[in-house]
Structure 1
Amino acid sequence: MRKKTLLTLIAMLSLHATAQTLPYQNPALTAEVRADDLLGRLTLEEKAKLMMDTSPAIARLGIPAFQWWNEALHGIGRNGFVTVFPITTMMAASWDDALLYQVFTAVSDEARAKNQEAKHSGKVSRYQGLSFWTPNINIYRDPRWGRGQETYGEDPYLTERMGLAVVNGLQGQSFDGKPSKERYAKLLACAKHFAVHSGPEWNRHTFDIQQLPERDLWETYLPAFKALVQKGKVAEVMCAYQRIDGQPCCGNARYERQILRDEWGFDGLITSDCGAIRDFLPGFHGVSADRPAAVAQAVESGTDLECGSEYRNLPEAVKRGDISEERINTSLRRLLVARFRLGDFDADSLVSWTKIPSSVIASKEHKQLALQMAREGTILLKNNGILPLKKENAKRIVVMGPNANDSIMMWGNYSGYATKTVTMLQGLRQKLGDVRYVQGCGLTRGEVYESRFDHMKAPLGNKGMQATYWNNTEMEGTPVNTVTITSPINLSNGGNTVFAPGVNLEQFSARYDGQFVADTDETLTLCVGADDKVRVMVNGDTLVNIWKVRQRIQEAAPQLEVKAGHHYRIQIDYVQEGGMAAMQFDICKKQTPTADEILAQVGDAETVVFVGGISPRVEGEEMKVSDPGFKGGDRTDINLPTVQRQILQLLHKAGKRVVFINCSGGAIALTEEAPLCDAIVQGWYGGERGGEAMAEILMGEVNPSGKLPITFYRSTDDLPDFLDYRMTGRTYRYFKGEVLYPFGYGLSYTSFEVGKPQYKNGVVTVNVKNTGKMDGTEVVQVYLRRTADTEGPLKTLRAYSRISVKAGQSQKVSIPLPRDQFEGWDAKSNSMRVVPGQYELMVGTSSADKDLKTIKVNMK
């Protein structure tokens, strides 16, 4: 009896010990203490799993699964319906970091709400987590770079200001960077891509930047990163794909350990770009003989987290002696600390951010922010008096161009899905009534494709096509996901992007299924593009059969005769064997109008609003496109596509007044087009309400105030070699030629006069007068140049302020310019510091000399 009682007591004590809260489970302890405790309980294999972007649950320790990879470039990306804000360069063109902070506060609200929805569903998949790999603070050094649209322009200081607004908004900090009063971090932001990255896209997995001048490194490429680390306390930094001086950025101890950690004091985590550790292997950078050696080099150099799955080789690297488990602990500790700071291990009742309701997602208030940002980011480049348009002339106005009615173009790249998008055509019709629309041409070709995809119905009767995915190449077994696609199919794994949550990056298969319902007799074209295998069947007949292994992207365009009222079942089978994946499909009415036909469609219209430029379909990250003038997502020249130039010439010769709206993520050389147009407006990729904002500006309801965050050059011939990362001859800071439109430039419907500036006690003061007849907003810009520094920038932005001035009134503007803003490269000490001496202080409305007033300032 006594023995039985003793056994019962031991069992009870054991149960009590098991139920006790372990230190890592105790929310009262610091994140660091909890991380240290948990580290000691993990096996080496478990540690390796937790250091990859898809970190699995570890049930025995109660560790939840965690998704590190999420996107929020200009709104939540790749995660269903959200608010889609303007593309990043357009937000930079607002020069309004206070508004940008509001935008990313809204984005982080939507992110937390989306994450809660995923948790309640029982699974948090990729793009649903709390770690966001944004902002992209690389310097947009060359307009040919397809990913330049993701940045905040070509200037280090503007990039710093905008980048800090993004980080503070995402992480729940105050606008000036003070930590939140909340117990937990709102989100984890990430500064990318470290360091010295800005294209080209086509060779980024093998390219080596060599002999970059130290001045360019410290004065141009690194300042924004340093500011986000030290001022913004950014949680993550992402290393880039390419090499610098022979070593990959994600295996480069100088940048990751010496600069980030030792010199800047960064205590957050470093993540690789997706697939970057694989690039260490032969066939890419070739710096590592095999996978264990590659992962050892990455972690030893400082890359704590991998986007990919190469870190599964860490246990083997430890076994071989390539790296110690203690070094792995150092990296994993940073990841665990970040997760504890988010509240990832704790009950929702303790984390205030989990109370953000789903009603904030795509809310009216957030959509209003998207509209305001599109208003402020639109730039008036030329106006001979044709703008604003007059509503009474609506019947004599035609809207034209390949981008006029393209809602997907409006979203830019890395976007989510808008609940409603206002195109340029729709925006103008809201203001002018049912104005005529003539497409005229495609982006780069004379063919006009009118999509009929909206006539597709999925098997359950809903709009679109049903997409079913298998993580094998045989379409066998249980599908991993089934989704409905409601717009023309345009999918790729560029940037290591999956086709749908849960689908492999490589070696998967898909079936797209739907019924086309014809409403008229016509001949249509099935526009198909795919890599690797694809076949298209209509009512059981195979019209496309490209079934070869590892093909480069193949295109087909069979015709289909349809009859009104008939249904046509379209089935597309797609198999991805390896490498790049791409799947594109649309069903279109194809025409090639002649010049006479185009003019006949324009008719007696006096004014043509031509919405042209380019599109995220041809510029972006590591793309495969066959359009002339593009390579790998980059451009080979910066001219407007020839077919659009020809139509502008046609319209001009016919005596039409032309308002040209340029849609692009970067600069277009409009040198030939400028004389043909009465007005030019830079429309970028304006987000879900971009068309509405554009219409308000064209009609004069909103006075344009945007300023260029990049230089618009006159010709591709003015650009240095794209592969040359030296700043000589690049951007407004070093380019000595004549530009088309300078950095900081942007017109208004009114005019401003800037007086002579004064500088005293660390403050620039200047009088600004609105000399026109319309209230307006001006961006007062402050540039510096050290007089004796003949090797340095011609001028460099060091401060700015957006001010609103009523017509006929003046305003005195005070802009802080403390001593540390005079910091620059000192060749004598080989360092960044404030060099005593004389400086030229330039204040005005753009970076052009004619728009600036200059005074001399002596700095001790």
Structure 2
Amino acid sequence: MAASSSSSLFLLLLLFVFVVSATSRRLHHAALSSYLGTHSTGLPPRSTYGPIETNGRNYSYVCDSRRFADLGLRVTDFAYCNKNLSYEQRVKSLVGSLSLEEKVGQISDQARGVQRIGLPPYNWWSEALHGVSYVGHATYFGDIVPAATSFPTVIVSAASFNEDPRWGRILETPGEDPFLVGKYAANFVRGLQDVEGHEVAANPDSRPLKVSSCCKHYAAYDVDNWFGIDRYHFDARAAEQDMVETFLLPFEMCVKEGDVSSVMCSYNRVNGIPACADPKLLSQTLRDDWKLHGYIVSDCDSLEVMHHGHKWLGDTPEAAVSQTLRAGLDLDCGDYYSRFTESAVAQGVVRESYIDDALKNLYTVLMRLGFFDGMPKYESLAEDDICTKDHIDLAADAARQGIVLLKNDHNILPLSKDKYKKLALVGPHTNATEAMIGNYEGTPCRYVSPLDAFSAEGKVEYDLGCTVWCWEKEAHRRAKEIAARADATIIFAGISLEVEAESRDRDDLLIPYSQSDFITQVTEASKGPVILVIFSAGGLDISSIARDNAKVSAILWAGYPGAEGGRAIADVVYGRYNPGGRLPITWFKSEYTKLLPMTSMPLRPIDELGYPGRTYKFFDGQTVYPFGYGLSYTRFNYTLKSVPSSVVVKLDPLQLCLPLTYKPNASLEEEHAGAACQSVNVADTACDHEINFEVEVANTGKFDGNHVVIVYSKPPAGVAGAHIKQVVAFRRVFLPAGASSSVKFSMDACKSLSIVETTAYKVLPRGQHTIVVGAYEPATVSFPVKVDFN
């Protein structure tokens, strides 16, 4: 579960799901696995196979009177099982009944339990990044549960720009934009956790949960292993401006909007302090500022990394335990808490009350999950709910939604079966199976490889030609031969976990050289048009071999599309599905990696070092493909309707105005540089203003299709260090050919028009802002919004 790999050299915003369910046995996770992404549930299964084993019998929940009887106990003797009490009272009673030794046994991910009071052991660690994974101590695949539905990797789901996503090292992230990542996080977490009818509660710590999900890795986590610099020793030196604007925002949205019940801290240091020992990041920000209702967990073995890797403060193990407990870390995924906390208390460096606080946070979440009382509503789920047709179809649809059409010369796609009857399928991913599902994977229900899918459509010849690294030069010959006699050639190429993965950062942005040579040779040999299908998570500089190569007629980016990936690709190629995905990352040119080291954390350009900006928000140079890029088989036009012209914010008599930093030579006309009140602190302002507008989207082509409307805001001209533009809203809509629809947007003016100043204040600047509708020129429309203060 360790950190992510920054596959290309720009900043990645990381969000994952560390699933904590109400149980930890096989059947439970089977039920969960088939529902992840639709009706995700962390629920007790049928009573015939309970999750809690006690003296040879299995029970669905802790406070079952029969279970206590098996232990020679009476459930009525234990207040923590009294349903008439609040969760707070029950948890207080539970924690108060434990000795120090017993308390320490519960604050690592493999909690020992306490049989004398009927408390069973519990495994906290299971994973469900894009379908239930076998990674972790609590998930099992075997004879009872052989498989689970496998969805596309997160980067592909993010490419759908669909606000109802299915899953969250670059393939494990939702892309480069903090707003998109935050939306993904909040909706994903809500889908996992929310019990219908209990989405809001007066006391959030009593709100029931289907599954406890976790946003990770917090924070400023961008290096896995790059030229000998690894995540176990890296110190991310990040300005507070970048922390607020980029590295923390997705987590803030995950907590505030998603009400996530857990956050995981990362291995790295942030400005000198290990993330898991930083009270500002944990207690102050997560709990006090954002009001986290849940627990904070370390990445696995983070305390050992802090002690032996960072050697922070030259600490002993006991001092490391003291630092993290005082910072607010509740659960150690590892063994430092279980091995050294008692001695830390004996040495006087840890208060026992710190342990009590951690346990209260942990057991409150388990109460909310039904671990103690059960959730009868979900007890019918079992083996026959695994790998159903509906779930497999959903995985295929998720893959279709995320596929991005990058090139389509002469409208070669959708491919005509009548005209192109004989296909050549070549390339290292032609028969991809495991490569399609990425990492943090489980055993899938089945695989549909590209070869499987296209073979079912008609006459094909195939040859892999080579593997991803493509060292098999002699193998190229047959691939060229079949391409020379086919009506059309589809090349399945790209990279894989051999190139980009956990503990494996990329050194460049190119397809491996020998594979590029293979693609070029096959393209030259092909009799008919060539379609290139790319498997990757990070961007690839394919400018010369494909984008600018006239013999390559079409390019599709499929990411790592999950177990149904071949089926989804065939559906797009043959036009049964019109691609509507958009790139959630910028595809930089290969020379970009030579301009700045991966260890550089600033997002903004550093002119004196010659460093360019990172992400679409701050990079103003040429790209291979921009963030938000994606074509369709049809055409969409925009017409603006009912747009606002101004926002006037009434200031409190004691309102504190903040100065802005302006670029050199900015004129006074440029956004009121000389105004008495240049900006206001959003946190201190009554921001109840909305920007409401409509855009009519018309499908003027011949194909039905999905279209993603992306809305950006651009700040007033002349403000130094401001972003070029930022995503503030997006909507995915379906339109039949010839149809149009009005899409309404309502945005909080202070959130959508704010910038983060060098001081790290989030401010609303005075002056003329611009709202841009559309991801890239020329298919955009825009209108100005003037902000003034009264």
Give the Cα separation in 2 of the matches to 1:408 and 1:181.
40
- Are positions 1:391 and 2:417 aligned together? yes
- Are positions 1:368 and 2:393 aligned together? yes
2:621 is matched with which residue?
Answer: 737
- Are positions 1:768 and 2:697 aligned together? yes
Offset at 1:375?
0.9
Give the Cα separation in 2 of the matches to 1:679 and 1:35.
60
Which AA in structure 1 matches 2:348? Answer: G
1:189 is matched with which residue?
Answer: 213
Offset at 1:261?
1.7
Give the Cα separation in 1 of the matches to 2:537 and 2:75.
56
Deviations 1:544-600 (A, max 9, x none): xxxxxxxxxxxxxxxxxxxxxxxxxxxxxxxxxxxxxxxxxxxxxxxx526544423
Change in CA separation of 1:183 and 1:639 when aligned onto 2, cut-off 3 Å: closer
Do the aligned partners of 1:280 and 1:287 also contact (CA within 8 Å) in 2? no
Query: Which of 424, 445, 450 matches 2:470?
Result: 445
Do the aligned partners of 1:205 and 1:285 also contact (CA within 8 Å) in 2? no
Give the Cα separation in 1 of the matches to 2:753 and 2:247.
15
Alignment of structure 1 residues 488-503 onto 2, 5 Å: none
Do the aligned partners of 1:200 and 1:722 also contact (CA within 8 Å) in 2? no
Do the aligned partners of 2:470 and 2:518 also contact (CA within 8 Å) in 1? no
Give the Cα separation in 2 of the matches to 1:75 and 1:303.
27
Alignment of structure 1 residues 388-427 onto 2, 5 Å: 388-427=414-453
1:759 is matched with which residue?
Answer: 643
Which AA in structure 2 matches 1:634? Answer: D
Higher mean C-alpha deviation, range 786-795 or range 592-601: 592-601
2:91 is matched with which residue?
Answer: 35
Which AA in structure 1 matches 2:738? Answer: G
SS at match of 2:474: coil
Offset at 1:177?
5.2
Which AA in structure 1 matches 2:124? Answer: W
SS at match of 2:733: strand
1:91 is matched with which residue?
Answer: 157
Change in CA separation of 1:700 and 1:831 when aligned onto 2, cut-off 3 Å: same
Query: Which of 475, 483, 495 matches 1:602?
Result: 483
Offset at 1:175?
11
Do the aligned partners of 1:660 and 1:680 also contact (CA within 8 Å) in 2? yes
Do the aligned partners of 1:169 and 1:175 also contact (CA within 8 Å) in 2? no
Alignment of structure 1 residues 643-658 onto 2, 5 Å: 643-656=514-527, 657-658=529-530
Offset at 1:174?
5.8
Change in CA separation of 1:175 and 1:833 when aligned onto 2, cut-off 3 Å: farther
Give the Cα separation in 2 of the matches to 1:594 and 1:266.
56
Query: Which of 667, 671, 695 matches 2:543?
Result: 671
Offset at 1:178?
4.0
Do the aligned partners of 1:148 and 1:198 also contact (CA within 8 Å) in 2? no
Change in CA separation of 1:355 and 1:22 when aligned onto 2, cut-off 3 Å: same
Offset at 1:715?
1.6
Give the Cα separation in 2 of the matches to 1:389 and 1:826.
47
1:819 is matched with which residue?
Answer: 749
Which AA in structure 1 matches 2:590? Answer: S
- Are positions 1:342 and 2:369 aligned together? yes
Structure 1 residues not aligned, in runs of 5+? 1-14, 105-134, 136-146, 448-591, 623-632
2:597 is matched with which residue?
Answer: 721
Change in CA separation of 1:25 and 1:694 when aligned onto 2, cut-off 3 Å: same
2:533 is matched with which residue?
Answer: 661
SS at match of 1:421: coil
2:778 is matched with which residue?
Answer: 850
2:231 is matched with which residue?
Answer: 204
Do the aligned partners of 2:396 and 2:564 also contact (CA within 8 Å) in 1? yes
Which AA in structure 2 matches 1:736? Answer: D
Do the aligned partners of 1:186 and 1:353 also contact (CA within 8 Å) in 2? no
SS at match of 2:379: helix
Deviations 1:379-421 (A, max 9, x none): 1000112211121345431001101102001111101111211
Deviations 1:291-313 (A, max 9, x none): 11111111111111010011121
Do the aligned partners of 2:714 and 2:770 also contact (CA within 8 Å) in 1? yes
Where is the strand percentage greater, Structure 1 or Structure 2? 1
1:307 is matched with which residue?
Answer: 333
SS at match of 1:277: helix
Do the aligned partners of 1:243 and 1:249 also contact (CA within 8 Å) in 2? yes
Change in CA separation of 1:227 and 1:304 when aligned onto 2, cut-off 3 Å: same
Give the Cα separation in 2 of the matches to 1:418 and 1:714.
35
Do the aligned partners of 2:580 and 2:630 also contact (CA within 8 Å) in 1? yes
Give the Cα separation in 2 of the matches to 1:801 and 1:173.
25
SS at match of 2:581: coil
SS at match of 1:270: strand
2:492 is matched with which residue?
Answer: 611
1:747 is matched with which residue?
Answer: 631
1:67 is matched with which residue?
Answer: 123
1:356 is matched with which residue?
Answer: 381
- Are positions 1:77 and 2:133 aligned together? yes
Give the Cα separation in 2 of the matches to 1:805 and 1:324.
61
Query: Which of 313, 321, 334 matches 1:295?
Result: 321
1:795 is matched with which residue?
Answer: 725
Percent identity of paired positions between Structure 1 and Structure 2:
33
Do the aligned partners of 2:488 and 2:526 also contact (CA within 8 Å) in 1? no
Change in CA separation of 1:175 and 1:157 when aligned onto 2, cut-off 3 Å: farther
RMSD after superposition = 2.3
Query: Which of 500, 509, 516 matches 1:638?
Result: 509
SS at match of 2:127: coil
Give the Cα separation in 2 of the matches to 1:358 and 1:185.
22
Do the aligned partners of 2:205 and 2:293 also contact (CA within 8 Å) in 1? no
Give the Cα separation in 1 of the matches to 2:75 and 2:544.
76
Offset at 1:650?
1.1
2:255 is matched with which residue?
Answer: 229
Higher mean C-alpha deviation, range 755-764 or range 58-67: 755-764
Which AA in structure 2 matches 1:437? Answer: Y
- Are positions 1:688 and 2:563 aligned together? yes
SS at match of 2:643: strand
1:457 is matched with which residue?
Answer: none
Normalised by the length of structure 2, the TM-score is 0.78
Do the aligned partners of 1:664 and 1:683 also contact (CA within 8 Å) in 2? yes
Which AA in structure 2 matches 1:819? Answer: A
SS at match of 2:297: strand
Query: Which of 172, 190, 193 matches 2:194?
Result: 172
Offset at 1:235?
0.3
Offset at 1:709?
0.7
1:517 is matched with which residue?
Answer: none
SS at match of 1:279: helix
Offset at 1:724?
0.8
Offset at 1:72?
0.6
Offset at 1:229?
0.9
Structure 2 residues not aligned, in runs of 5+? 1-70, 135-139, 142-146, 605-612, 645-689
Higher mean C-alpha deviation, range 782-791 or range 228-237: 782-791
Change in CA separation of 1:291 and 1:804 when aligned onto 2, cut-off 3 Å: same
1:163 is matched with which residue?
Answer: 185
Offset at 1:43?
1.1
Do the aligned partners of 2:495 and 2:535 also contact (CA within 8 Å) in 1? yes
2:358 is matched with which residue?
Answer: 331
